[in-house]
Structure 1
Amino acid sequence: MDQLKLALIFLFFPVSLVGQIKQIKKTVTKKEVEHHMYFLASDSLRGRDVGTPGIEIAARYIANQFENYGVGPIDDGYFQEVPLKVTKPLKSGHMTIADTTLNFKESFVALRGGNMNKKAGVVFAAYGMPGDLDSLAIEVTDKYVVTWAGDKGVSSVRDWFSLMRKKSGHLKEKGALGLIEIYNYRSMPWSMLARYMGNTRMELYNEQEEDNLPVYWVNDPDQKLTKKIQAKGLVAEIMLEGAETKIIREKNVVGVIKGKDKKLSEEYIILSAHYDHVGVGDPVKKEGMPADSIFNGARDNALGTSGLLMAAKYFGKNRPKRSVIFLAFTAEEKGLLGSEWYAENPLAPLSKCIFNLNIDAAGYNDTTMVTVFGVEKNTAEGAIQQATEEAGLKMGYDPIPEQRIFRRSDHFNFAKKGIPSVLYSPGVTAFDDEITYYYHQVTDNPETLNYNYVTVYYHAFINTADYLANSDKVAKWNIDEEEFIKAAEELYGKP
């Protein structure tokens, strides 16, 4: 460890916290860890899929454990309702534009909107951002607006989805009929995207946004159609049929322990994990195992949920200076929807939340360490390493940056708001066969885990949380994290 990082540790943490690990080990036992894991990842919960009885049982179990461990409700109860819209896929359709007919799935998909049968004029608006519309002086009322997907310099498909919402909202205000984006992202083949969009989809439901602007992505890798579309006076016709929608109400499970320090108790540390998984599928036969159809999700993410419960037990007996919010999210597997809903509808002011320590996993392949995704992005890096090592494990960094894991779990919805956040994962050195054998597979059962390691991993997680919740210092984004610094300035104000 270099001298600068060592100095940051002692700046960030009061020395008096050293030694809490003994109390953590006494409180968090292997026997109780196994008890939670075997319940949450049991066949009786049928894979904890959203919209099923199994996830309802899991939610009530988590709430009951919060209450038993001394974690109180943050609002009227432990449940925050999360409204979701479920859309069964469109069955067929076509789009005719610039004398070219595109078939549904083969050449275009619907990101938003249901059945459609409408012909209207077309205008091209570069990336379609508000500034583009203003600079091009385009009239979009009662027209389909064609743009490139994303924005200049934005290379993440997940970010393209976020920008799509921004564009479509602005275009709706301007009176447009629909948004058609040109998709040319080479890292995700069109066939994969079309297959994904052809499945039943789930999204957050907002009654005020029920009449969202229809949005379509068109595959145009050679840009031939894009060149045609830039001509003036074109007309497009879109015909789609077969969509069905319904609204369901799911639950985030939320609890809080009030801090004991008069001043610092007004600030919150968020500890989080998602408790949903992917449910039941077609029977799968693995070598040496009977056929199975239940995806129990022991690693992903009964492991994280059990860790959250163990943290609840510890803090219920050892109140820290700061208040601690415990968040068990629904619908992470559907696109981080539970955490997105909470981030937009928080039960405590986000400006009072100073850190999110999120626990999630695809699995592990190194039991001597933990992997902390995004830890290098904020000033708590050295402190988290110290807390982890005190529990007997090494701290590792993101070994697979090309997979952009930091942006693929619930903490990212808080990072986008400006809250320093990390993903505290079991030890991963590569996305290898040891990970893929269990990740979203019927093999991911509770009896396949190393509970000696899992228990120590929880010790490290809780020790890290304890340090964050008791430090007199507040973590900040590092100076090169411009995206998050800007969000933090909007949330907390400029320093």
Structure 2
Amino acid sequence: MISVRSFTKTRAILFFLILLMLGMACDRLPMVKIPEEPKERLTAFITYLSSDELEGRGTGTAGNKKAAYYIRELFKSFGLQPLGNEYYQEFKVVTEVQLGEGNSLVTRTHGQEQSWEVGTDFMPMPFTENQSATGKVAFVGYGISAPDLNYDDYSGIDPEGKIVIIMRESPDYEDPHGKFSDYVSLSYKIRNAREHKVAGVLFVNPPSDTADELYTLKRVQGDMQAGVPAIHVKQSVVTSILPESQLFEALEEGIKSTMKPASFDIPDVEIEMNPSVKLIEKPTWNVVGIVPGNDPKLSKEYIIVGAHYDHLGWGQEGSRYTGEEPAIHHGADDNASGVAAMLEVAKHIGENPQPRSVVFIAFGAEEMGALGSAYYCKNPLVPLENTVLMLNLDMVGRLQENKLQVTGTGTSSAWDSLIDTLSNHHGLEVSKSADGYGPSDHASFYSQNVSVLNLFTGLHDDYHKPSDTVDKINFDGLLTIAQFARDIVVRVAHLEKRPDFVK
């Protein structure tokens, strides 16, 4: 007979083994058999990546990790060699912002001190520096310096060392095609304030915004940090410190009607601010494999083929979904389609090595501001100076009337003729853009002087909604684009002379 103590110990061991096996099961996903036919492969790739099981592949989630593992296993099966740590390049991203300790805001007007309540009267901005600031105060309108528009909210005052009050939006924000559209973002305004050496920033909604809601502690796009303390205040905080002769509504209306700044120092007012936030970080990964080149000289040069595999989970920041209940954002086109096309190219190159080396990267955290590609460019696994092309695939699953957008054609003098030749061969009607920048991972490489090409079949009503599902993918069109991308890689890999870079 087994003693109670031994039985308890045995039960504990069995329980531990069960937990261990469950943990291993999470890391070792069952791999679906890879179909023989290319179109069926593309279907299998997107069906899995956009499935409910992966829950939208939100950065920092279990579904995102499963997607990375799936791609890694496919890289292995295609014969790609690992880069990074067994195909993984890990980096951390801020997935949540919480209220820190000790948030305070005090205004002193004509010697009268008033303390304001966090969450009711003000909130720290999620990108704030966690530091205190005390100083005199200046109202600087919308905080815009636009020499091309002959407009500067900082003209006529000395903002250095002061707390500045900045209205959100712009003088013509009600016009969807307003000329100030490049100057509206918070990232621009905080950067401009920092360049003017301010001590701190109080953002406020313009008086015409009658809802006057405080900015929430949501994660912001990119890795933006203010460099100065920054908070968002209710309009009542601003009206309490303005001179009696300066009505807040009149200030806004005056700027909008004249399109001229109306900035000024606020006399006999001092502000003491102490914002504090806590950034919650989680790991995610770029998945990276390489097919080394077979030419002794050209193999030291690299072509990168990339596509981001993350999406919006159950509706992270950037979602356009307006339903009341949370819903999985499947991201079939954005960007399971790009990953599928990249995988198809990887399979071909893995079976047919080229003169130049070809690197394949599934980028993480693109939806959070192209963080994965930015991290790679700061920590490259092959030399960026030896990278001759970064070919990016982002949303390539909705081809209509054979129309494809290709951006970055002006980043090398070799691209225009190459794209013309191959698009004619594949029956594609290509709309070309010379610019190397744009809202995807290729921009990270272009900013580091790498020639780029980005393929895109266009926006649609399902963009960033749960309705971006696999049944809406044009698989015939996707196969054509995958073959088009493959041929770009093969042609560039065989060029005798390295293609030039054009800024």
TM-score normalised by structure 2 residue count: 0.68
Quote the residue 2:187 is aligned against.
Answer: 161
Q: Which amino acid aligns with 2:63?
A: G
**C-alpha root-mean-square deviation of aligned residues, in Å?**
4.9
CA pair 227-67 structure 1, distance change in 2 beyond 3 A: same
| 1:439-460 CA-partner distances (Å, limit 9, x unpaired) | 1111111122221221112111
**Residue aligning to 1:120:** 135
SS in 2 for 1:332: coil
The amino acid that maps onto 1:348 is V
Residues 38-53 of structure 1: matches in 2 within 5 Å? 38-53=47-62
**1:61-140 maps to which residues of 2 (within 5 A)?**
61-88=70-97, 110=125, 112-113=127-128, 119-122=134-137
What's the secondary structure of 1:279's corresponding residue?
coil
Deviation (angstroms), 1:408? 0.8
Q: Normalised by the size of structure 1, how large is the TM-score?
A: 0.69
Asked whether the 8 Å contact 1:127–1:148 carries over to 2, the reply is: no
Q: Does 1:421 align with 2:421?
A: no
State the match for 2:363 in structure 1: 329
Q: 1:444 aligns with which of 446, 458, 468?
A: 468
1:381 equivalent in structure 2: 416
Residue 390 of structure 1 is aligned with which of 402, 425, 432? 425
Work out which of the residue numbers 25, 33, 45 in structure 1 matches 2:42: 33
Residues 304-345 of structure 1 show CA distances to partners (whole Å, capped at 9, x for unaligned) of 111111111111011122111211111111111111111122
Q: Distance in 1 between matches of 2:286 and 2:261?
A: 43
Matches within 5 A, 1:41-440: 41-88=50-97, 110=125, 112-113=127-128, 119-122=134-137, 144=163, 156=182, 161=187, 164=190, 168=194, 177-178=199-200, 198=216, 200-201=218-219, 212-215=227-230, 227=262, 229-230=264-265, 235-238=270-273, 240=275, 243-281=277-315, 293-361=327-395, 364=398, 366-379=400-413, 380-397=415-432, 406-426=437-457, 428=458, 431=459, 435-436=460-461, 438-440=462-464
- Counterpart Cα distance in 2 of 1:120 and 1:466: 61
Give how far 1:87 is off.
3.6
Instruction: Evaluate the alpha carbon distance shift between residue 110 and residue 353 of structure 1 in structure 2; reply closer, same or farther with a 3 A threshold.
Output: same
Instruction: State the 1:389 CA deviation.
Output: 2.5
Q: What is the CA-CA distance between 1:261 and the residue it aligns to?
A: 1.7
Q: Distance in 2 between matches of 1:462 and 1:221?
A: 54
Checking the alignment, whether the CA contact within 8 Å between 2:129 and 2:230 is kept in structure 1 is no
* Equivalent pair of 1:98/1:229 in contact (CA under 8 Å): no
Aligned residue identity for 2:297: K
Q: Going by fraction, where is helix more abundant, 1 or 2?
A: 1
Change (3 A) 1:55 1:221: farther
Q: Which amino acid aligns with 2:187?
A: F
Q: Report the CA distance shift for 1:415/1:405 in structure 2 as closer, same or farther (over 3 A).
A: closer
Which whole-Å CA distance do the structure 2 matches of 1:323 and 1:193 have between them? 55
Identity percentage of aligned residues: 25
CA distance in 2, matches of 1:191, 1:472: 63
Q: Which runs of 5+ in 2 are unaligned?
A: 1-34, 147-151, 169-178, 236-250
Q: C-alpha offsets along residues 89-146 of structure 1, whole Å, 9 cap, x if unaligned?
A: 65998685989999989999725227776533457999899xx9xxx998957x6477
Q: Residues of 1 paired with 2:297 and 2:211: CA distance?
A: 51
Aligned residue for 2:481? 457
The structure 1 residue matched to 2:493, chosen from 438, 447, 469, is 469
The one-letter amino acid of 2:327's match is S
Q: Distance in 1 between matches of 2:351 and 2:409?
A: 28
Structure 2 CA distance for partners of 1:27 and 1:167, relative to 1, 3 Å:
farther
For 2:73 and 2:209, locate their aligned partners in 1 and report how far apart those are by CA, in whole Å.
Answer: 45
**Which amino acid in 2 is paired with 1:274?**
H
Contact 1:90 1:198 in 2 (8 A): no
- How many residues in Structure 1 have an aligned counterpart in Structure 2? 420
Distance 1:409 1:109 in 2: 29
Cα shift at 1:362: 7.6
Q: Take 2:45 and 2:97, find their aligned partners in 1: how far apart are those partners?
A: 34
Distance 1:391 1:300 in 2: 23
Pick the structure with greater CA Rg. Answer: 2
Counterpart of 2:149 in structure 1 is none
